[in-house]
Amino acid sequence: MPRLTVIGTGYLGATHAICMAVLGYEVLGVDVDAAKVERLASGEVPFFEPGLPELLVKALESGRLRFTTSFAEAGEFGDVHFVCVGTPQRPGSYAADMRYVDAAVADLAPHLHRRALVVGKSTVPIGTAARLTELVRRLAPAGDEVELAWNPEFLREGYAVDDTMKPDRLVFGVASPWAQQRLRAAYAPVLAQGTPAVVTDLATAELVKVAANAFLATKISYINAMAEVCEGTGADVHDLAQALAYDNRIGGRFLKPGLGFGGGCLPKDIRAFLHRAEELGVGQAVAFLREVDDINKRRRARTVDLVRELVGGDLSGVRVAALGAAFKPNSDDVRDAPALDVASTLQQAGATVRVFDPAAMDNARRTHPELSYGQSTMEVARDADVVVLLTEWAEFREIDPVALAGMVAHARIVDGRHALDAARWRAAGWEYRALGRP
Ligand code: UDX
């Protein structure tokens, strides 16, 4: 079994390092952030992910997982080095910010004294692997002995462990049979479960990831565009989506209408794809992604409008209970969270917004200190003029509408995620509104 290093211990890297150690590999996690390394080494996962804390403890106890800030140690230790650092949107641009990927490779390469494979997992602009191949060969003492491969990662937050242990597929972008053989060795237990591996060149492997995310974003914006059509015609997007989903060529996944997509991946990935395609002279081919992004942003604005309509046209002084802050349930991630965007816009329009989320409160307080926060649904709902459901956590789906009606000043609710049974809420005396529903 090759010895693995995982460079970058954020969401993707920490999950990958922990799961690989559980699968039986010797793994060294590397990060420039000493505090993060210390927390992981002491058994603490620095973010919310169901199932991962237990696996971290198990991996540490096995003695197969360690963490370090030293790239020299990583170069000495590893046969296969996974690069798992972030590629956020560059401020003021649609482009991906490549500084962390470039730095990770530049920090590691001078310590590669023997044959090794450097494997990119981050989501990157097409052409990055070719560029990094040059960089590695220039900086590594082992020169041409060091190869680069691309192995995109498709994990979803909230399902990161399962997506890593039992992925739908593995994609191996390689430049030689040796690189393919090394990747197969680095994933032997996963391949042994029958997981299909698609072997491609480097550019195709980079493209698979952005093409997949662009497709998913397009599917969500498609149904949300239909919601807009429904709003203009009196049709019901909830029933429409259900009827479309029975066509198994379409399928119901990622066809859930509502407030739209957010998070650290889909929004910035489609923008970076647009930017890179334009640079490559094929911008027209993906110009529709600008529309996908715009449809998605309009859902946030429309949710604010629904709240305004429901309270009679003026938001000033209105007390809003906002249920949800995370960009989706089972996550504490608030990056580009539609929920906080809506809450913040309502507040700017004069409303007093109190937010509750089961997991994302600390992150929300940090990014949105202008909002106020409460410790429970009942606390934020007390004396509210309107309730807005923004993230479809299970505990919000299970709210008893009769009990909640007893807490609020006015029983009015906007269901931004189509998460509630409209008939049940109306029967309990609520004025219920949802995007794309009459
Ligand atoms: C996504 C991809 O799914 C994953 O493969 C990739 O590796 C990273 O980006 P993630 O960001 O964790 O994963 O979230 P995902 O579950 O895909 O949801 C993205 C957003 O779309 C969320 O804001 C969610 O609320 C929204 N969504 C999803 C919808 O609005 N409707 C749907 O039907 C599905």
Domain extent at residue 225: 210-293
Q: Is residue 158 situated within a structural domain?
A: yes
46 and 157 fall within a common domain: yes
CB of 255 shorter than 6 A to ligand 1? yes
31 and 129 fall within a common domain: yes
CB of 156 shorter than 6 A to ligand 1? yes
Residues 61-109: pLDDT tens digits? 999 999 999 999 999 999 999 999 999 999 999 999 999 999 999 999 9
Residue 394 has a CB neighbour count (10 Å cut-off) of 10
Report residue 136's pLDDT band, with 50, 70 and 90 as the boundaries: very high
Residues 55-67: pLDDT tens digits? 999 999 999 999 9
Q: Is residue 229 situated within a structural domain?
A: yes
280 and 310 fall within a common domain: no
Sheet holding 386-389, edge to edge: 372-373, 352-356, 319-323, 386-389, 412-415, 431-434
Residue nearest atom 33 of ligand 1, based on CA coordinates? 254
- The interaxial angle of helices 99-108 and 128-139, nearest 10 deg, is 30
Residue nearest atom 14 of ligand 1, based on CA coordinates? 156
Q: Is residue 309 situated within a structural domain?
A: yes
User: Cα(380)–Cα(386) distance, rounded to whole angstroms?
Assistant: 11
Q: What is the pLDDT of residue 295?
A: 98
User: Are residues 344 and 307 in contact, defined by beta-carbon separation less than 8 angstroms?
Assistant: no
Q: Is residue 385 situated within a structural domain?
A: yes
Residues 188-218: pLDDT tens digits? 999 999 999 999 999 999 999 999 999 999 9
Report residue 173's pLDDT band, with 50, 70 and 90 as the boundaries: very high
Pocket mutation for ligand 1, best pick of 213, 216, 271 (most atoms within 8 Å of C-beta):
216
**Domain's final residue, options 240, 261, 293:** 293
194 and 282 fall within a common domain: no
Of 27, 37, 31, 41, the C-alpha closest to 8 is 31
Q: Is residue 378 situated within a structural domain?
A: yes
Residues 404-413: pLDDT tens digits? 999 999 999 9
ipTM: 0.95
The predicted model scores a pTM of: 0.96
Percent of the chain with pLDDT over 70: 100
**Domain's final residue, options 176, 200, 224:** 200
CB of 155 shorter than 6 A to ligand 1? yes
429 and 314 fall within a common domain: yes
45 and 129 fall within a common domain: yes
Residues 4-50: pLDDT tens digits? 999 999 999 999 999 999 999 999 999 999 999 999 999 999 999 99
241 and 303 fall within a common domain: no
Residue nearest atom 25 of ligand 1, based on CA coordinates? 328
17 and 145 fall within a common domain: yes
User: Cα(61)–Cα(78) distance, rounded to whole angstroms?
Assistant: 20
Q: From ligand 1's centre to the CA of 400, what distance in Å?
A: 27
Q: What is the pLDDT of residue 401?
A: 98
CA angle 187, 123, 163 (to 5 degrees): 45
Q: Is residue 287 situated within a structural domain?
A: yes
Q: From ligand 1's centre to the CA of 91, what distance in Å?
A: 22
Q: If you average pLDDT over residues 387-393, what whole number do you get?
A: 98
CATH of the domain at 387: 3.40.50.720
**Domain's final residue, options 293, 327, 345:** 293
Q: What is the pLDDT of residue 315?
A: 98
Where in the sequence numbering do the catalytic residues fall? 265
Average predicted confidence (pLDDT) for the chain: 97
Residues 144-163: pLDDT tens digits? 999 999 999 999 999 999 99
What's the total number of domains in the chain?
A: 3
Pocket mutation for ligand 1, best pick of 89, 266, 271 (most atoms within 8 Å of C-beta):
266
Residue nearest atom 20 of ligand 1, based on CA coordinates? 261
271 and 191 fall within a common domain: no
CATH of the domain at 283: 1.10.1040.10
Q: What is the pLDDT of residue 397?
A: 98
Pocket mutation for ligand 1, best pick of 161, 209, 215, 220 (most atoms within 8 Å of C-beta):
220
37 and 136 fall within a common domain: yes
Q: Is residue 253 situated within a structural domain?
A: yes
Q: Is residue 205 situated within a structural domain?
A: no
153 and 278 fall within a common domain: no
353 and 289 fall within a common domain: no
In sequence order, the 6+-apart residues with CB closer than 8 A to the CB of 64 are: 21, 24, 25, 26, 27
Residue nearest atom 27 of ligand 1, based on CA coordinates? 261
CB of 254 shorter than 6 A to ligand 1? yes
Nearest atom in ligand 1 to 254's CA = 33
Q: What is the pLDDT of residue 381?
A: 98
